[in-house]
A and B are shown apart, each in its own frame.
Chain A
């Protein structure tokens, strides 16, 4: 899981990779879907404002599932997490950067709205504040990556009637603006004085968060505000502010308290639409200012019935989705825990390996010992054999001779020796050379 960084501090490569991933989502429509992957996020954000049916088991029936209530933070946390995952399906190196409008440094804002990154303020086809439904003087974004020429088309089904298909923003994104921008920045430290969630949440949602939408004007003004890709970086910063507050006030005990409030979907274990298994559903859009189409439902992607998210499930952003480079305290703790776990795991593995090797060595020793004993036995037996042979050699018994000729000679010699010993003629009668009778008689008269 990568870290979300300050958008103004990204390298040129990081900016390019991020923009490329965003543009890819805008240009990609999945089979069977009516909108591009990007525009489906816009449709979901609009539809969640108009929930009508559902279990209604809370103190109020379903209404706005993501705004004006405790679920503002968890819903948007999950929403931008899904967006980041979609970006990472295009390029796994990308993390969603945050737009740190809350820092008080104008460069954290001015360095983002450039041609090579998120594009400039509006400048073409200007509509005056009196005539613009966003109540600001706006223009079309005419240069950079998010122009109609570059394929950034605002879907007409997801924009106020007559607002056109180009991305529109205020003509002046001035960080010294005293109506919206400066109060937004000032509202943050005030909110951080809040010690309970049900004050902190509206104190961020209302003035800081809401005023940035109003300052941007144009598409960011409406409930179809994700039409402007700056939406996600804005909400990454809003989420980061909540994450920082959570460092001091963590966990379920610090959500929707001290008194549980809100429509269904806002309490800690309520299912949040659209990740609610179909419990709630959006109604027809009746205000026509957010969307010309009265029924947003045909534009929505299919949702899995088992895809369930509750506020409780996203409280710990560090473990689930979206780590910020400002999560220092958590980061240190997390690294400590990770190192400890790694050591534990490696220690266990080493122990197991030693055990296995020890067992193998024992087995080998046993086997070799056995073999040695066999060899010793063989040596002993051969030694015995040699001793017997020695005795035989002393007796003159050389034992069986392999060579048959030599063997025959030895047998003949033995025979001769035997006959010599008995005094008998050693030449057999039938082996004697023939001798005449006269010779024998002369011997007798002699």
Chain B
């Protein structure tokens, strides 16, 4: 079963999908490489180095805030 969620943030569409514990993140349709640390229950993206986020939405917003996604 795929869990899907869409959020609009600063004129950008954030799409979050979770399938079998594997996260997928899209910002304006662009796939963003993310990973999930099961033990820590945190999300991470290579775009933001060594930072950790408690949710994909928070991670996506950080990407938009820091201009990582054009």
Residues of A within 8 A of B (CB): 49-50, 59-61, 63-64, 67-70, 133-135, 198-199, 201-203, 205-206, 209-211, 213-214, 221-223, 225, 261-262, 286-287, 289-290
Apart from A198-B39, A202-B37, A206-B52: 20 A-B pairs, beta carbons within 8 A: A63-B35, A64-B35, A68-B40, A68-B44, A69-B38, A69-B39, A70-B39, A133-B66, A201-B39, A205-B37, A205-B40, A209-B50, A210-B51, A213-B49, A213-B50, A221-B49, A261-B38, A287-B45, A287-B46, A289-B47
A206 touches B40 (CB 8 A): yes
Q: Size range of the interface on B? A: 20 to 34
Q: In this assembly, does B17 line the interface, its C-beta being within 8 Å of a C-beta of chain A? A: no
Residues of B within 8 A of A261 (CB): 38-39
CB of B34, distance to nearest CB on chain A (Å): 9
Residues of B within 8 A of A211 (CB): 50
Interface residues of B in 1-56 (CB under 8 A from A): 21-22, 31-33, 35-40, 42, 44-47, 49-52
A60 touches B49 (CB 8 A): no
CB of B47, distance to nearest CB on chain A (Å): 5
B49 touches A69 (CB 8 A): no
B39 touches A223 (CB 8 A): no
Residues of A within 8 A of B35 (CB): 63-64, 67-68
Residues of A within 8 A of B31 (CB): 286
Closest 7 interchain pairs by CB? A202-B40, A210-B50, A68-B37, A198-B39, A213-B50, A221-B49, A261-B38
**Number of residue pairs across A and B with beta carbons under 8 Å?**
72
> With A202-B37, A262-B38, A289-B68 as given contacts, are A67 and B51 in contact (CB-CB < 8 Å)?
no
A202 touches B39 (CB 8 A): yes
Which partner residue on chain A sits nearest B44 by CB separation?
A68
Interface of A is mostly: loop
> With A50-B33, A210-B52, A287-B33 as given contacts, are A223 and B38 in contact (CB-CB < 8 Å)?
no
Residues of A within 8 A of B47 (CB): 287, 289-290
> With A60-B22, A206-B42, A287-B33 as given contacts, are A135 and B50 in contact (CB-CB < 8 Å)?
no
Residues of A within 8 A of B52 (CB): 206, 210
A290 to B39, CA, bound (A): 25
Which partner residue on chain B sits nearest A203 by CB separation?
B40
A214 touches B37 (CB 8 A): no
> In this complex, which of B37, B45, B52 has the most chain A Cβ atoms within 10 angstroms of its Cβ?
B37
> With A198-B39, A262-B38 as given contacts, are A223 and B46 in contact (CB-CB < 8 Å)?
yes
Can you list 5 A-B pairs with a CB-CB distance of less than 8 A?
A63-B35, A69-B38, A214-B49, A221-B50, A290-B47
A50 to B46, CA, bound (A): 9
CB of A98, distance to nearest CB on chain B (Å): 19
Residues of B within 8 A of A198 (CB): 39
A375 to B33, CA, bound (A): 98
A262 to B39, CA, bound (A): 9
CB of B38, distance to nearest CB on chain A (Å): 5
CB of A179, distance to nearest CB on chain B (Å): 12
Which one of A49, A69, A225, A289 lies within 8 Å of B37 (CB-CB)?
A69
CB of B10, distance to nearest CB on chain A (Å): 16
A60 touches B21 (CB 8 A): yes
Residues of B within 8 A of A63 (CB): 35
Residues of B within 8 A of A61 (CB): 22
B66 touches A135 (CB 8 A): yes
Residues of B within 8 A of A64 (CB): 35, 44, 46
Residues of A within 8 A of B42 (CB): 68, 202, 206
A261 to B49, CA, bound (A): 22
A68 to B53, CA, bound (A): 12
